[in-house]
Chain A
Amino acid sequence: MDAVNDKLSQHKGRHKGSVKARLAAFFSNLYKIHLFIIRFFKAAFLPPYEFKEIVRQCYETGVRSLPLITITGFIVGFIFTKQARPSLASFGANSWLPSLVSIAIMRALAPLVTALIASGKVGSSIGAELGSMRVTEQIDAMEVSGTNPFKYLVCTRVLATTIVIPILATYAAYIGLIGGYLNVSVNEGTSYTAFIEQFFSPLVFLDFTSSIIKSIVFGFTIGIVGCYQGYYASSGTEGVGKAANGAVVTAMFLVFIEEIIIVQITGNFR
């Protein structure tokens, strides 16, 4: 089979440089992603359900990302507060700092930073793991032993990221709040109760829901992109690297695009 692939790649190599071939590959890839997503929805909601594996993947995705999310969330809250202070101070509006921090963290920073961290940590890990399983024929082995590898490997991971990323984003928002509070507390001497009161006062229900919806979309994107890249990895160990890299780059790019779209949509409801 490897020898067949070698001959095939030699054959492909003669044509892959042309613009036409690249365009064809791009649209073919787009079509395959579309089919991949449809296949996910068909497989994920039909029995038998892989509850045990979903829980295991949630643990892998969530608990293992927790230290990084904690550090990043704290730094984001702390630094944002520090950087925003001079601008507000020039208007004598230091007291608005908790409100500004809350809007920035809840509406944008927490879901976005969590998604970017998860793209790097979780997305690359899924891409590399499935890619490695593909090139070492472990996915084929699963399939011939009567197990549906798409359901067992892909659906569980995508569902796990979709469930866990919103939870991590909420956690990141709380840690960001603590980072902001420590900065405000040291500089302005604001009490925790006063900070919390001012933190939540400008927030409305839409801020919470849009943040959660955004995180669900980001989580789904990170999972599906990582799985797609890994599931269709080829060309041996080089393919594993490409899958991991592709998972991170594509997921990050899509997260930014989705952020813009969701902000535009939620903006209409304000």
Chain B
Amino acid sequence: MHKDKTKIDHNNVVIKIRGLEKAFEDYAVLRGIDLDLYQGENLVVLGRSGSGKSVLIKLISGLLKPDSGSIEVLGQDLSKITDKELQLLRTRIGFSFQSSALYDSMTVRKNLEFPLVRNKRNLTRQEIDTAVETVLEAVGLSQTINQMPAELSGGQRKRIGIARTLILNPEIMLYDEPTAGLDPITCIEINALIDQVQHRYNTSSIIITHDLTCAKTTGDRISMLMDGKFQRTGTFDEVFKTGDKRIKPFFDYNFIE
């Protein structure tokens, strides 16, 4: 599958990270990360479990604070903005959680409405309903609108999780292990959905995964995170055809074609 890269604007950096370090007690997870995400680009971050991939996107969304280094998102330096500005900035970033993180006590409709009614308080009932129906249709799950999260399959939960982030029309999407724990067919559907979101909503995305099929299908560029640093960045072929012994086992295990 060849991705259309014409929409990537290399002059417009939406996420800029320099010298990012993060440790938990004395366990250093990230040891000097530099990253640029361009407008319209899907960047896949690959790495082993515990390599700090999820920590990286939690730092980008401001859920964690870095020990050192700088993170600029949509031109705003996270270390210099107020809580209120961060809250506003977050409405421009979509975060799809590994566990989907749907609110258990709410129906699908309430889950989708929640970010909307919290952030745009002057919307009419009809506008809210239209927005909910539009994102549900975008993820192909209109029939689930009155169901509870517990009644949904893993794949449906992921889709609803993505729909919930789309309802605020984000400019950046952060996907944490979007295909983890799903069957191969559902993985293909989720990968297609990520591509569809990129084109329909013109988002720039960071996709955290260790699924190479997902990486190859959705990524315009791939960065390999190992030992707290990006060891290699480039297209899928550039990263995996170098013969790097640290990266090769990944490819061998996730053999694609």
Residues of chain A at the chain B interface (Cβ within 8 Å) = 1-4, 6-8, 11-12, 132-133, 136-138, 140-148
A140 touches B54 (CB 8 A): no
Knowing A1-B54, A6-B50 are in contact, say whether A145-B118 is a contact too (CB < 8 A).
yes
Knowing A140-B101, A141-B101 are in contact, say whether A146-B49 is a contact too (CB < 8 A).
no
A133–B104 Cα gap in the complex (Å)?
8
B54 touches A4 (CB 8 A): yes
A144 touches B93 (CB 8 A): yes
What are 13 sample pairs from A and B whose C-beta atoms fall under 8 A apart?
A1-B98, A1-B176, A2-B49, A2-B54, A3-B49, A137-B99, A138-B101, A140-B63, A141-B101, A144-B62, A145-B165, A147-B119, A148-B87
A82–B174 Cα gap in the complex (Å)?
66
Knowing A12-B25, A146-B118 are in contact, say whether A137-B101 is a contact too (CB < 8 A).
yes
Is residue B95 within 8 Å, beta carbon to beta carbon, of the partner chain?
yes
Name the CB-closest residue of A to B61: A144
Min CB gap A47→B, angstroms? 12
A144 touches B95 (CB 8 A): yes
Min CB gap A25→B, angstroms? 13
B115 touches A147 (CB 8 A): yes
B95 touches A141 (CB 8 A): yes
A138 touches B25 (CB 8 A): no
Which residues of the other chain, A, contact B51 by a CB distance below 8 angstroms? 3
A143–B168 Cα gap in the complex (Å)?
14
Give a binary string over B56-73; 1 marks a CB under 8 Å from any A CB, 0 the rest. Answer: 001001110000000000
* Chain B contacts with A in 1-33, Cβ cutoff 8 A: 24-27, 29
Min CB gap A134→B, angstroms? 11
A12–B25 Cα gap in the complex (Å)?
9
Is residue B110 within 8 Å, beta carbon to beta carbon, of the partner chain?
no
Name the CB-closest residue of A to B111: A141
The A interface, classified by DSSP as helix, strand, loop or mixed, is helix
Which residues of the other chain, B, contact A6 by a CB distance below 8 angstroms? 50
A3 touches B103 (CB 8 A): no
Name the CB-closest residue of B to A6: B50
A8–B25 Cα gap in the complex (Å)?
8
Is residue B155 within 8 Å, beta carbon to beta carbon, of the partner chain?
no
Which residues of the other chain, A, contact B87 by a CB distance below 8 angstroms? 146, 148
Is residue B152 within 8 Å, beta carbon to beta carbon, of the partner chain?
no
Which residue among A6, A7, A138 has the maximum number of chain B CB atoms within 10 Å of its CB? A138
Knowing A7-B50, A11-B27, A12-B25 are in contact, say whether A146-B55 is a contact too (CB < 8 A).
no
Which residues of the other chain, A, contact B62 by a CB distance below 8 angstroms? 144
B50 touches A4 (CB 8 A): yes
Which residues of the other chain, A, contact B27 by a CB distance below 8 angstroms? 4, 7-8, 11
A187–B87 Cα gap in the complex (Å)?
65
- Across the interface, B90 reaches (CB within 8 A) one of A8, A136, A143, namely A143
Knowing A4-B54, A12-B25 are in contact, say whether A146-B115 is a contact too (CB < 8 A).
yes
Given A1-B54, A4-B29, A11-B26, 19 more A-B residue pairs with CB atoms under 8 Å apart are A2-B49, A3-B50, A4-B27, A4-B54, A4-B55, A8-B24, A136-B104, A137-B98, A138-B104, A140-B97, A141-B95, A143-B90, A144-B61, A144-B93, A144-B95, A145-B115, A146-B90, A147-B119, A148-B87
Min CB gap A68→B, angstroms? 22
Which residues of the other chain, A, contact B24 by a CB distance below 8 angstroms? 4, 8
Min CB gap A137→B, angstroms? 4
Min CB gap A46→B, angstroms? 11
A2–B27 Cα gap in the complex (Å)?
14
A145–B63 Cα gap in the complex (Å)?
11
A237–B183 Cα gap in the complex (Å)?
24
Is residue B114 within 8 Å, beta carbon to beta carbon, of the partner chain?
yes
Which residues of the other chain, B, contact A147 by a CB distance below 8 angstroms? 114-115, 118-119
Which residue among B25, B55, B101, B165 has the maximum number of chain A CB atoms within 10 Å of its CB? B101
A133–B106 Cα gap in the complex (Å)?
12
